[in-house]
Structure 1
């Protein structure tokens, strides 16, 4: 009798025609657990029975319609709409591996992206059977001869003493070649295993540097060492130039996001493996990584010999890329053979949190007070433009109880603290309060306002680890002296940016600004000219912060 075929829609490809399993009518489905994966079922097609009440948030699902075999079968079935969370029969079909498993939200489950996997499966509605499934582990599939399939464990906590979000940036260029590429993967796997990966320990991901960088998997794709090792094994060699700088910049900017699993308050780390030397500029990428709060480690292998130095764009590339040029962030291995002895020392570095000096950035480790001119010459509409200028600077920073802090003072002849550093600890609240500041109107006494702010706003923060900045926005000449109060603020460790509009005297702006004056004092004829100055002030704050950390 000819086999029947079941059509299954595969987005972006068309229809998959799956054979109806012959002779399966009335067969008892295999009872599985919530977390049984496709790779645990060693059949081309099988009927399984999913339990009810599985926690949706704990499902690991990769792809959409066609799922990577590392995915939970029951999770895929709920995601696909084949069953509800009440459980039920599911038919699973094994499929070849593929590239680019997509991320889709469906039926309460957010599937994850995966760049490549060696095997796949899809699911359809299964046949009902007499056996009942439970949330407990029950025999699944066929274990290898002589071995008993273990219960699928819950996600383990991991090494709680080594909390870090780590991206391994491996060399996939023609420099390293296929053989050494595989040895590199073996070494990375050993490091990952020793780290103690787990939900409350280190989380790791992998990026491959070659002609174009490729993120192989993210921090939240796998939270067990076993799955990470399997994923590393699946990574294929890409070839091309060793554009390490391009890959490092891409990793710093795109890899560490909330959506991909980065955790608040946990050090962000990139471990860069370089076989030989990079074929592009890595210094700029190192600067970008530091600005994003990423701790860069360089593991160099097979340094260039004297005859090769002429081909190296910058012989000091390691020193310019690492978080700090103090020896802690650079690591050298002579070759890829016999590397086991290098695993533990590298892991110890990655778990030494107090040495992660680049975790502090200009975006999360600054106190910024805004001193806003509310004098009569400003006018209500222009005052709104000043508040917009303040908001556009403030919203760039990571405002929180452990991060950046914002305060605002309005002044005329008098001073009014609109809010202090400790009043609001979320960006949303800070921006809302700035929008609602009421215009005072009056004279201009900028010197007194600076002294007031240093005493009443920065004074209570004298023990704060954050670097202090004061941004003064004014449109006219002060009726009092600004030089003395500004000098006292500088002596107190406060960096001042002065921003003048309309009739603000250039001499006053320069007297108030920190050195070098030309990069801390700004002027525009019109209030609409404040907008382009926003990026100048932000860059200046980041530059000054980085210099203070050297």
Structure 2
């Protein structure tokens, strides 16, 4: 009996083990069946724009080579959805040019996008766009499911979407009760239109609609732009690189057609990288050979796309390499208001030279620099040892450029290496703080007039002195960032008529000079110099030249030697103008050395005007004689 019981127990235990093992195996099989599939990262091309992808947040893999300028990017940190996704990733620093995975998150549209140069990519500026995105490292959030396949917006042709607009009819929502204002709207002219099926448009974009506009996936586009190959938004330009730029390209016969094409490719790449626009850089092109000729000026093409198209159409002229003649041509003709020159933008000339010039460049370049033009030279190849005898002006590049410190000169050994100058050139021409030749004798000073208002002058002569001050002031370029003017009147006492920061335009300054009232009293010139140092020049900007122009009609009642020495030690260049009873030896003490260039004497007040050209000439000669290094 006991044996039977034991046998039954063993059978039960054996059955339990079998069921247990079977259950574990079954659970493992079930676990295998419900295991989550592995996430596959979708791959996109460099030219894919964020606006074409519907997903609000996604991870993608970018290929190598998206640093190329042809993949346009708009904005900095936050990018317009018209941007290349991968191009923006390189610009932001999340990726390098070798590609990789990124996380993209859509955000609201911005009222403006600021262009910048970063990580080898020049992003462009844009006034506004309806949708934006940011790029992050590909670190998925916990609990967030990212798509393994992206959803793209429908790609209707521009012509088809234009037809949707042109054939649509509409009754104003203001006249139709219950109409959806987000769907229907009437333009101010009364033209009827209706939102096309599937189009995504915000109320704000409807408000900005104008007759003749077409609604595309990216926003409202003028109808005339539909004829262009690309519906790329037109940038206002990079405000951080507001320069007026002229390219002087080598069209001489010796360059050959192939190298001429390489030269044009550099220009096209520069036009793309600069983000051309009315609020940023503008660019024109002059070709030189025997004689220079302008292909287009600063106002001909005001966006990068049109400029690149124009560059492609340039044909070679042939002839010699008369670079000096071309620089003179640009100095006299190119940077004029009629050609689109803007007074607040630095003037920049980039000269490309194959080998060496066939004429002299030093004198022409000096005149260009003194006109405020920043000259850059890109020299390619150069003369071989047996060719150096033909070089008209050895070391021509250093004689021509704005500063001989390497900043303004780029040299490549071969035309096939010309593309390597693109990034350093764009960076340098946009570095407006280092464009030293933008500062000229007429736009880089704080000028303080110290005017004698003593009794011996008299009311009529005092007005003549003010006219003299006006005539000098008219010669300068006046603004808060250019030349600034201040004035002090003195007798026994001193009075600040207006400081450097009071007026920032020429009309305002000239009106302020007219309003100065005659004071009358004694003549304490030494005290007046001290007062001007304290009340005017102590508030001068660090990067400004400080000029004091003192006008007096008599000998000072106090000592002028110590105040004059204090002015000289503080770097104030002092001009002393004496009239009638002024003491010549006192004027020479006040004036900066050499006194013959800084002190002047006239017998009568009515003859003051004769010295205006000479004073201006001396100011400019002194400025331009400063070392260029």
Shorter-chain TM-score: what band?
0.5 to 0.7
The partner residue of 1:394 within 473, 492, 507 is 473
> What SS is found at the alignment partner of 2:446?
strand
Matches of 2:334 and 2:283 in 1, distance apart?
A: 11
> What SS is found at the alignment partner of 1:314?
coil
Partner of 1:478: 556
> What SS is found at the alignment partner of 2:546?
strand
Deviates more, 1:261-270 or 1:392-401: 261-270
Q: CA deviation at 1:409?
A: 1.5
C-alpha offsets along residues 260-285 of structure 1, whole Å, 9 cap, x if unaligned? Answer: 43446443321011223334442233
Conserved? CA contact 1:297–1:323, under 8 Å = yes
> What SS is found at the alignment partner of 2:351?
strand
Partner of 2:50: none
Q: CA deviation at 1:253?
A: 4.5
Matches of 1:522 and 1:352 in 2, distance apart?
A: 40
Deviates more, 1:285-294 or 1:320-329: 285-294
Q: CA deviation at 1:324?
A: 0.8
Conserved? CA contact 2:225–2:231, under 8 Å = no
For 1:249-398, what aligned pairs fall within 5 Å after superposition?
249-263=328-342, 265-398=344-477
2:614 aligned with 1:536, yes or no? Answer: yes
> What SS is found at the alignment partner of 1:532?
helix
Q: CA deviation at 1:488?
A: 0.6
By relative contact order (CA 8 Å, sep 6+), the higher-ranking structure is 1
For 1:221-260, what aligned pairs fall within 5 Å after superposition?
221-260=300-339
> What SS is found at the alignment partner of 1:303?
coil
Q: Structure 1 length normalisation: TM-score?
A: 0.68
Task: Report the CA distance shift for 1:316/1:548 in structure 2 as closer, same or farther (over 3 A).
Answer: closer
Matches of 1:459 and 1:168 in 2, distance apart?
A: 41
Matches of 1:544 and 1:284 in 2, distance apart?
A: 18
Indicate the structure (1 or 2) with the bigger Cα radius of gyration: 2
Partner of 1:113: none
> What SS is found at the alignment partner of 2:450?
strand
Partner of 2:501: 422
C-alpha offsets along residues 486-536 of structure 1, whole Å, 9 cap, x if unaligned? Answer: 101111121101122333232112111112222222233343433332222
Partner of 2:577: 499
C-alpha offsets along residues 350-384 of structure 1, whole Å, 9 cap, x if unaligned? Answer: 33344323333332221000112223343433333
Deviates more, 1:336-345 or 1:482-491: 336-345
> What SS is found at the alignment partner of 2:311?
helix
Matches of 1:157 and 1:403 in 2, distance apart?
A: 25
> What SS is found at the alignment partner of 2:477?
coil
2:281 aligned with 1:205, yes or no? Answer: no
> What SS is found at the alignment partner of 2:613?
helix
2:543 aligned with 1:465, yes or no? Answer: yes
Deviates more, 1:243-252 or 1:266-275: 243-252
Partner of 2:492: 413
C-alpha offsets along residues 410-456 of structure 1, whole Å, 9 cap, x if unaligned? Answer: 22333222211121111101011212322333332221211111122
2:597 aligned with 1:519, yes or no? Answer: yes
Conserved? CA contact 1:155–1:223, under 8 Å = no
Conserved? CA contact 1:372–1:408, under 8 Å = yes
Matches of 1:377 and 1:479 in 2, distance apart?
A: 13
Q: CA deviation at 1:460?
A: 3.0
Give the superposed CA RMSD: 3.4
> What SS is found at the alignment partner of 1:277?
coil
User: How many residues are treated as equivalent by the alignment?
Assistant: 420
Partner of 1:94: none
Q: Which has the larger share of strand? A: 1
Q: Structure 2 length normalisation: TM-score?
A: 0.60
> What SS is found at the alignment partner of 2:356?
coil
C-alpha offsets along residues 242-300 of structure 1, whole Å, 9 cap, x if unaligned? Answer: 33233323324443345543446443321011223334442233333333332211111
Task: Report the CA distance shift for 1:485/1:139 in structure 2 as closer, same or farther (over 3 A).
Answer: closer
Conserved? CA contact 2:453–2:521, under 8 Å = yes
The partner residue of 1:487 within 554, 565, 579 is 565
Task: Report the CA distance shift for 1:177/1:199 in structure 2 as closer, same or farther (over 3 A).
Answer: same
Conserved? CA contact 2:248–2:285, under 8 Å = yes
Matches of 2:334 and 2:469 in 1, distance apart?
A: 30
Matches of 2:337 and 2:254 in 1, distance apart?
A: 34
Task: Report the CA distance shift for 1:420/1:162 in structure 2 as closer, same or farther (over 3 A).
Answer: closer
Matches of 1:337 and 1:388 in 2, distance apart?
A: 60
The partner residue of 2:212 within 116, 134, 137 is 134
Q: CA deviation at 1:162?
A: 4.1
Matches of 1:385 and 1:239 in 2, distance apart?
A: 58
Conserved? CA contact 1:175–1:276, under 8 Å = no
Conserved? CA contact 1:409–1:417, under 8 Å = yes
Q: CA deviation at 1:330?
A: 0.4
Task: Report the CA distance shift for 1:370/1:204 in structure 2 as closer, same or farther (over 3 A).
Answer: same
> What SS is found at the alignment partner of 1:473?
strand
Q: CA deviation at 1:140?
A: 8.2
Task: Report the CA distance shift for 1:436/1:354 in structure 2 as closer, same or farther (over 3 A).
Answer: closer
Conserved? CA contact 1:410–1:416, under 8 Å = yes
Conserved? CA contact 2:404–2:628, under 8 Å = no
Matches of 2:288 and 2:609 in 1, distance apart?
A: 38
